[in-house]
Amino acid sequence: MRLTVFGTGYLGATHAACMAELGHEVLGVDVDPDKIAALRAGRVPFYEPGLEELLVKHTASGRLRFTTSYEEAAAFGQVHFVCVGTPQRADSGAADLRHVDAVVDGLRAHLGDAPALVVGKSTVPVGTAGRLAERLEGKAELAWNPEFLREGFAVQDTLRPDRLVLGVRSKPAEALLREVYAPVIDAGTPVVTADFPTAELVKTAANAFLATKISFINAMAEVCEATGADVSVLARAIGHDERIGSRFLRAGIGFGGGCLPKDIRAFAARAEELGTGRSLAFLREVDAINLRRRERTVELSRELCDGSLEGKRVAVLGAAFKPDSDDIRDSPALDIACRIHLQGGEVTVFDPEAMDNARKAYPALDYAVSAPDAVRGADLVLHLTEWPQFAALDPAELAAATVRPRIIDGRGFLDGARWAAAGWEFRALGRPAQPRQERP
Ligand code: UGA
């Protein structure tokens, strides 16, 4: 089939390459000529494991091409996927739909008489699909097919998703989407067909649930801190109950990134507009708990630095909002780094992949070339993104490089006993302090 994919960010670039992998002829479209030039040259402009291989493979075979021309795209595609971003508006928590609207209007202006299906994948407030369908009336049919990919696992989540949700208004639209995803469906992926509002809500409900689960365990971490209990043991124990499940129960500095924080705010804002604000009032608390964990990390840092961060050298391990990504959008790690910097701390950051993005966005912070380089001479170390290479560091070697070996594990990921045995004062959110042992 001939498909177009509008928007070549994290979602669109992955979707385009994966659709080529499924055997389709794909044209990726973006208004940013630099992005298009990079993709044409087989370069992914961000870090996503496995994506560059697919891009190189299919740009070489000619099955995957890129353009900035809507005219070319409209003439090429039978199915047009809308994968542009829906960031938070500057003036409120609501979603900014200007990119989605621009794609639909731009495409509409160039569509001819051939039948076309426009398929929304962007995360949008419920009601958007119905509005866009009206705009396309007489030119193309609309379907809504939300995506659930996680950064870091984007290729795998697209080729082997947990489920496909097809929001459709007609049998032919459903049949066309089933044809697009035939290899995925044949591999046993569950398919849920739904009306537009349900399809839109599946996505926002899923992200709201995940955010709530994280904030739930972080609320438990607050209670653990007040009682001397250990949230990591608590999470392990409740996670054995299959109805609860152990995933997304890792307490720490909380969720960030380009999705969960803005999606729960947009969802709550939409509920207010719909007159059902009370139904989602709890999401404000989910957001508040999440932000409190960042503040608590700064507070604990200050405590460990004898009451003041002024002039203290703080090493921050991690800048990306999570490992296996170079994405720093709403990164809890960088938010904490900046707050400490504002309180007079001398902050040095290291991240295996997100250095360029971090440097551009936060030029006032210092940056190191490696984790040991960041830690050298530090009064305090903060472990804020759980890259596996940080867990593999030798605590004894690092301890010797610091002024005082003190660390806060903001991700509940390091082996506290091992660090304490190497002479570190080891603290983790929601857990009792590890008794420090003398340096060997
Ligand atoms: C999230 C969802 O997981 C995807 O299903 C969804 O498709 C995507 O948003 C989207 O809307 O596009 P993503 O933003 O890539 O995916 O990241 P997650 O893996 O969900 O992690 C989000 C944040 O939660 C990270 O900062 C992570 O460190 C944090 N987290 C995750 C925790 O603090 N604790 C946990 O137990 C799990």
Angle, helices 51-61/33-40, rounded to nearest 10 degrees = 80
For residue 191, what are the contacts with CB-CB under 8 A and spacing of at least 6? 163, 164, 165, 166, 178, 181, 185
**Is the shortest distance between the CB of 289 and ligand 1 below 6 Å?**
no
Closest approach atom of ligand 1 to CA 249: 36
Could you tell me if the CB of 254 is within 6 A of ligand 1? yes
Q: Is 154 in the pocket of ligand 1 (CB under 6 A)?
A: no
Ligand 1 atom 31: residue of nearest CA: 248
Query: If you average pLDDT over every residue of the chain, what do you get?
Result: 97
Residue nearest to atom 2 of ligand 1 (CA): 150
Ligand 1 atom with the shortest distance to the CA of 331 = 26
pLDDT at residue 354, as a whole number: 97
DSSP string covering 392-414, please? TS-HHHHHHHSSS-EEEETTS-S
Amino acid at 102: A
Edge-first strand listing for the sheet containing 346-350:
366-367, 346-350, 313-317, 380-383, 406-409, 425-428
Mutational pocket test of ligand 1: of 84, 86, 88, 210, the residue with most ligand atoms within 8 Å of the beta carbon: 210
Q: Tell me what the mean pLDDT of segment 85-105 comes to.
A: 95
Q: Dmax of the chain from CA atoms?
A: 78
Q: Supply the pLDDT for residue 182.
A: 98
pLDDT at 91: 94
Does ligand 1 lie within 6 Å of residue 405's CB atom? no
- Look-up of token digits 């800048």: 319
In this prediction the pTM is 0.96
Instruction: Supply 254's token pair.
Output: 């909380």
Phi-psi region of 59 (alpha: psi -120 to 50; beta: other; left: phi over 0): alpha
Amino acid at 210: L
DSSP assignment letter at 217? H
pLDDT of residue 439: 57
- 14-56 residue pLDDT tens: 999 999 999 999 999 999 999 999 999 999 999 999 999 999 9
Q: Are 38 and 59 in contact (CB under 8 A)?
A: no
Neighbours of 244 (CB within 10 A): 14
Q: Is 308 exposed, middle or buried (0-12, 13-18, 19+ CB in 10 A)?
A: exposed
The alpha carbon dihedral of 339, 91, 142, 39 has a sign of negative
Band of pLDDT at residue 437, cut at 50, 70 and 90: confident
Tokens representing residue 364 in the block: 């006032």
Residue 215, ligand 1, Cβ within 6 A: no
What mean pLDDT do residues 74-87 have?
97
What is the mean predicted confidence (pLDDT) over 323-329? 96
Q: Are 165 and 143 in contact (CB under 8 A)?
A: no
Q: Cα dist. 252→96, 220, 222, 331, 385 in Å?
A: 29, 11, 10, 13, 10
| Enzyme catalytic residues | 259
Atom from ligand 1 closest to the CA of residue 147 = 7
Give the tens place of pLDDT for each residue, 376-396.
999 999 999 999 999 999 999
Probe target for ligand 1 pocket from 47, 150, 202, with the most ligand atoms within 8 Å of CB:
150
Question: Which has the closest alpha carbon to 145: 118, 125, 165?
Answer: 165
- C-alpha 150 – ligand 1 centre gap (Å): 7
Is the shortest distance between the CB of 321 and ligand 1 below 6 Å? yes
Give me the helices (H) in 228-280, please: 231-239, 260-273
What count of Cα atoms within 13 Å lies in the side-chain half-sphere of residue 98?
Answer: 5
Chain segment 263-298, per-residue pLDDT in tens:
999 999 999 999 999 999 999 999 999 999 999 999
pLDDT digits (tens, 9 = 90+) for 134-171: 999 999 999 999 999 999 999 999 999 999 999 999 99
Q: How far is the CA of 360 from the centre of ligand 1 (A)?
A: 23
CA of 117 to the centre of ligand 1 (A): 30
Write the CB contacts of 333 (distance below 8 Å, at least 6 apart in sequence). 253, 256, 316, 318, 319, 320, 321, 349, 351, 382, 384, 385, 410
Length of the chain (residues): 440
